[in-house]
Structure 1
Amino acid sequence: MTRSGQEYIESLRDGREVWIDGERVKDVTAHPAFRNTAASIAGLYDLAHDSAHSAELTHEGVHRAYLIPRSHQDLVARRTAYKVWAEASYGFLGRTPDYMAGGAAGFAAAPQLFTTDTFDGAANVLAYHRRLAQGDLYPAFTITNPQTDRTRSASEQEEDDLVVRVVAEKDGGIVVRGAKMIGTAAVFGNEVIVGTIEPLAPQDIDHALTFSLPIDTPGLKFISRTSYEAGARSVFDNPLSSRFDENDALLICEDVFVPWENVLTYRNVDAGFGMWWKTPAYVNFVHQAATRFWTKLEFLTGIAILITRANNTFDLPPVTQAIGRLMGKVAQAKAFVLAAEVCCEEVDGGRGGVMPGKDISYAQRIMAGELYPQALQEIRTLAGGGLIQLPASAQDLLHPEIGPLVAKYIRSPGHSAEERIKLLKLAWDALGSEFAGRHEQYERFYHGAPHVYLTQQAWEGDTDACVRLARHCLDGYSLGRAARA
């Protein structure tokens, strides 16, 4: 049975070590930097636990993201579940529990890849997947090395523990020390998986490990970035950042003990890299992210339409064309999701079920990173100066002296000042606030840097098919035919 939202909230009150603004947070569910977002995530759990959407979100008491799809229909069912949760946050909560749940299902679909000559993690991977699914846990991850000296490998940094590494082995497990960055939503998770998605050099053997631990494990520290939720004035003034700031945190391990049963890969550079790319884990990530991205574009385009109607410009030909471009972008985002499902591929000859088509999934990363800034620019142009000249807060509308002036001068035909300000504050939070800036940067690098995913597309795509078609044309004529033309 899936957890209720209240059960999820209670699970966060475990003494985890989270820091922000020089303060150790006693309870993330009560702290003004985190409490509203925690409540929003609890709302997702309630949707799965007991709502009209429970059947879409779960199957036999397990969230669909944890299930290993066996057919195209299973992929469609999983995407339907992704869409329900994405719509609940309008696409602004990216690393919800279903994201890493899909990754865990990807590991479990190909456990044999975790058996190596240095460590056999196959049983641990299956137990990891089972523990998360049966407990309906929120798995987070930190799999990016800190940006210290990018010209050196992990083992060649100025200090040997800047990147998480093994410092000792014991009978019951290992001791690790070091850091990982961009633990998105990690402070809201139940377990965190620590690993490296980027390739490591052969000499980085001490850093080549992957493990998962409860968030409250002694020695685990999470240092939060600025909280946009904490800076929000109210839901009226900051409707997105006040409720959907999933946060990003730096994870630091200070001589943390990891039991052997929690270790997935160990002292093996190829296994630590291949677990993401040679199992369905990464394309499962993209399946969830692409569904969320499609939903987010729907939401942003909806804002654009509402603004142009409020400004009485919707029917002007240039504006209608701009809306058409945005609707085209929505259709592109949707098409990538549906196409990846239709072009699904067997995993391990079908023994591991199916996964979305890899080449289309990888191509979605390119599209999303380039398209999102374009969509924002289009909507900003449609909104114009109205986004800038807004009252500081809802209090101006409520003030007995200032309120009537605001009502008189900040309105439009058929829209009261309150309605117009409410709409434009929503638009600003999505387009121009610090929260919005984080999202634009995040969408650009959601699946890695362009030099990584563009190169990977060239490697993974069917370049031979492209060359064959061009070669077939070249082979169809010769210099001799030119003389006869």
Structure 2
Amino acid sequence: MTRSGQEYLESLRDGRTIWLDGERVEDITLHPAFRNTARSFAGLYDLAHDSAHTPVLTRDGAHLAYTVPRSYEDLVARRRAYKVWAEASFGFLGRTPDYMASGAAGFAAAPGVFTTDTFDGAANALAFHRRLAGGDLFPTFTITNPQGAPSPYDAAGGTAQDDPVVRVVAEKDGGIVVRGAKMIGTAAVFGNEVVVGTIEPLAPRDVDRAVCFSIPLDTPGLSLISRVSYEGAARSVFDNPLSSRFDENDTLLVCDDVFVPWESVLTYRNVDASFGMWWRTPAYVNFVHQAATRFWTKLEFLSGLAILLTKSNGTHQLPPVTQAVGRLLGMVAQAKAFVLAAEASYEEVDEGRGGVMPGKDISLAQRIMAGELYPRAVQEIKLLAGGGVIQLPASGEDLLHPELGPLVRRYTGAAGRPAEDRVKLLKLAWDALGSEFASRHDQYERFYHGAPHVYLTQQAWEGDTASCERLAQSCLDGYALGGDPEGTGPR
């Protein structure tokens, strides 16, 4: 059964260890750096729990993201659920609960990947999926090693004890003990459980790092160290309409001799399984399906913002502006096309025993498109916005000031648009395009699914190079030196 937003908020008051600016945060539902975003997540739960959107968002009492799709129609239904939640944050909450939920469904679709000669995690993977779906939990993850943290064996005299990355340091009755850190825990402070693992390929000797598990956020020894909070720096919703409500935060996860019960372990001391759980199950492709739907939604919002700006500036009918808007709408159509094409090119999982997943080739290519398209879209809108977004009152309260208000209203209004409406629009634009929050999103979208050198190389490996090469070779094979000058025609 899905939870209400209030039930979700209550689940966050569990004594978890969150650090911000050198202080421990006692309750993120009340702290000014986190409370509004927590309420935004709570709003998503309310949409699923009891709203007009409930039939679209849920099936059999659980969010559709937890469903293992069995058909093309199931993929479409799941995407429609993704879209509802994405529109609630205008695409700015990237790690909503349906993201990792779809990954858990991917694990459940191919549990055999978790069975190895070192550890059989298949039953745990299935139980993990059931637990999350049954409790309507918010699963998060940290699966990236800290930058600049090579294997300790690469350094002269290095040992496993010098390793800063999460790794196994001991076995005990009933479980294992882990120590080390992971980045980037996006939205982890707002979750109920966190999956700790590695999506990066490991060397055969790095078996201590080859572990994946999921534990509650209040587990003893587990800490999350937050970056600066954009929500905490926001003046008001009027002045910072996005960063004040949709700052999902990013954290460094630290395990200080954390005990993990065996039933919470998914992979153990097996580099192939720890890597393959993401790539040889539908988990990663499911991630892309959710993320691609959100990205499409975000471009819709930004394009709509651009249209409002040009109308406010009185430039929307100028031919160059019309062309720029057309270019943005073309980007929206590209983003939408990737989602629909991935669904239409769906593939069977485990010869159909694990249902279906979106087409892998197109799903992986979406990462290339999104990482390159987002900064171009933002740059296009900045050019359309002009200088108005940087010449704004420090606060919307200036409009209400007895002496300052009349001046601000007189000089910030536009023909046919009251000053308050125009300032409101421009502040929204700045929060989306030029603020520190916006800069984080620019970097975030560029690296949402990894670094370009990773996903471009993977595309070369995963793409259908044989068909492309075969088509080009068929052209070469169709003629020869000294042959018919008119050619052989179509083959």
* Shared fold per TM-score greater than 0.5: yes
> Displacement, 1:154?
5.8
Q: Residues 281-300 of structure 1: matches in 2 within 5 Å?
A: 281-300=283-302
Post-superposition CA distance 1:387-433 (Å, at most 9, x none): 11000001211101111011111111111110000000000000000
Post-superposition CA distance 1:11-40 (Å, at most 9, x none): 000000000000000001000110000000
Q: Which amino acid aligns with 1:206?
A: D
Hey, what's the Cα distance between the residues in 1 that align with 2:163 and 2:226? 20
Post-superposition CA distance 1:70-99 (Å, at most 9, x none): 000000000000000000000000000000
Q: Which amino acid aligns with 2:305?
A: I
Hey, what's the Cα distance between the residues in 1 that align with 2:486 and 2:185? 67
> Displacement, 1:156?
3.9
> Displacement, 1:308?
0.3
* Aligned 8 A contact 2:227 2:251 in 1: yes
**Alignment partner of 1:301 is 2:303:** yes
What's the secondary structure of 1:480's corresponding residue? Answer: coil
What's the secondary structure of 1:473's corresponding residue? Answer: helix
* Aligned 8 A contact 2:82 2:290 in 1: yes
Counterpart in the other structure of 1:265:
267
**Alignment partner of 1:64 is 2:67:** no
| Identity score, percent | 78
**Alignment partner of 1:28 is 2:17:** no
Counterpart in the other structure of 1:153:
151
Give the TM-score of the pair, scaled to structure 2: 0.97
Counterpart in the other structure of 1:37:
37
* Aligned 8 A contact 1:240 1:430 in 2: yes
* Aligned 8 A contact 2:181 2:255 in 1: yes
Hey, what's the Cα distance between the residues in 2 that align with 1:46 and 1:206? 41
Give the TM-score of the pair, scaled to structure 1: 0.98
Hey, what's the Cα distance between the residues in 1 that align with 2:419 and 2:359? 48
Q: Residues 40-439 of structure 1: matches in 2 within 5 Å?
A: 40-149=40-149, 152-153=150-151, 155-156=153-154, 160-439=162-441
Hey, what's the Cα distance between the residues in 2 that align with 1:203 and 1:160? 15
Which contiguous aligned blocks of 4+ residues in structure 1 show a shift greater than 3 angstroms? Answer: 154-159, 482-485
> Displacement, 1:148?
2.3
Hey, what's the Cα distance between the residues in 1 that align with 2:128 and 2:482? 66
What's the secondary structure of 1:174's corresponding residue? Answer: strand
Structure 1, gaps ≥5 residues long: none
* Aligned 8 A contact 2:95 2:248 in 1: yes
Hey, what's the Cα distance between the residues in 2 that align with 1:14 and 1:147? 30
* Aligned 8 A contact 1:141 1:194 in 2: yes
Q: Which amino acid aligns with 2:166?
A: V
Hey, what's the Cα distance between the residues in 2 that align with 1:330 and 1:430? 17
Q: Which amino acid aligns with 2:216?
A: P
Hey, what's the Cα distance between the residues in 2 that align with 1:223 and 1:233? 23
Hey, what's the Cα distance between the residues in 2 that align with 1:40 and 1:484? 67
> Displacement, 1:298?
0.2
1:444 to 443, 446, 464: 446
Hey, what's the Cα distance between the residues in 2 that align with 1:255 and 1:484? 76
What's the secondary structure of 1:117's corresponding residue? Answer: coil
Q: Which amino acid aligns with 1:51?
A: S
* Aligned 8 A contact 1:307 1:423 in 2: yes
Name the CA shift for 1:154/1:473 in 2 (closer, same or farther; >3 Å): farther
What's the secondary structure of 1:352's corresponding residue? Answer: coil
Q: Give the RMSD, CA atoms, in angstroms.
A: 1.0
* Aligned 8 A contact 1:154 1:163 in 2: no
Post-superposition CA distance 1:304-354 (Å, at most 9, x none): 000000011101000000000000000000000000000000000000000
**Alignment partner of 1:457 is 2:459:** yes
Count of matched residue positions in the alignment of Structure 1 and Structure 2? 483
